[in-house]
Amino acid sequence: MIYSNQSISDFLNTVASQKVTPAGGTAAAIVGAIGTALCEMVCLHTMGEDEYADVEVEMAEIQEELGIQRGFLLELADKDAEVVDELLAAYRDDSDQTVAMKKATGVPLTIAEACLSVLEYATVVTEKGNRNAVPDAGTGSFLVYSALQASVYTVRTNLGHLSDSAFTEEMETRAANIERSADIEFEQVISTIE
């Protein structure tokens, strides 16, 4: 399923159904993509304005990078549903659930990493963007930060089902580092928009 091709209403109806997918990871990726789009919008409202001519090139570059991250998050939304379906199949078939659970842990971690990248750009957008549009980047940052936190939560939940201590330790370290960095970036956004 390619969720980006669904209407918002259809996607939400699918989430609110008895189907297992799309679930939390997919929803987090979609929310992250929405927040990213808001930051992109602020870049576009900054470019072409005489008052912000000195940051136009920088905003254009950031807007392009944010577009890439938004597309990546939409791909990850689909990927998350795919790995959750694989995990459910592994439980049904009594096959190797460890491999499937590792995949179901890796995708939300990648979602969190993508969200961190967006937050890093958001610090610049909220600092240098068109002041009339910056509140939208603030809203976008809240959404992206929430998506990141939800993804880290999913990682930790899934790690609780694994007995591979080396893998668990590595993933927990990466998740903690992402979370720490995100806190710093988000605090910077908040201090700029308040």
CATH number of the domain encompassing residue 162: 1.20.120.680
pLDDT at residue 87 is higher than 80: yes
Q: How many domains does the chain have?
A: 1
Give the type of residue at 142.
F
Helix (H/G/I), strand (E/B), else coil: 190: helix
Examine residue 12 and state whether it is found in any structural domain, yes or no.
no
pLDDT at residue 1 is higher than 90: no
Examine residue 140 and state whether it is found in any structural domain, yes or no.
yes
Count how many residues are written for the chain. Answer: 194
DSSP string, 10-69: HHHHHHTSS-S-S-HHHHHHHHHHHHHHHHHHHHHHHTT-GGGGGGHHHHHHHHHHHHHH
Tokens 């998350």 belong to which residue?
80
| Residue numbers of the domain that contains 60 | 21-193
DSSP string, 61-126: HHHHHHHHHHHHHHHHHHHHHHHHHHHHHHHHHT--HHHHHHHHHHHHHHHHHHHHHHHHHHHHHH
Which pLDDT score, from 0 to 100, does residue 69 have?
A: 98
Examine residue 9 and state whether it is found in any structural domain, yes or no.
no
CA 23, CA 40: separation in Å to the nearest integer?
26
Mean pLDDT confidence for 153-163:
96
Examine residue 2 and state whether it is found in any structural domain, yes or no.
no
pTM: 0.95
Examine residue 149 and state whether it is found in any structural domain, yes or no.
yes
Examine residue 86 and state whether it is found in any structural domain, yes or no.
yes
Examine residue 8 and state whether it is found in any structural domain, yes or no.
no
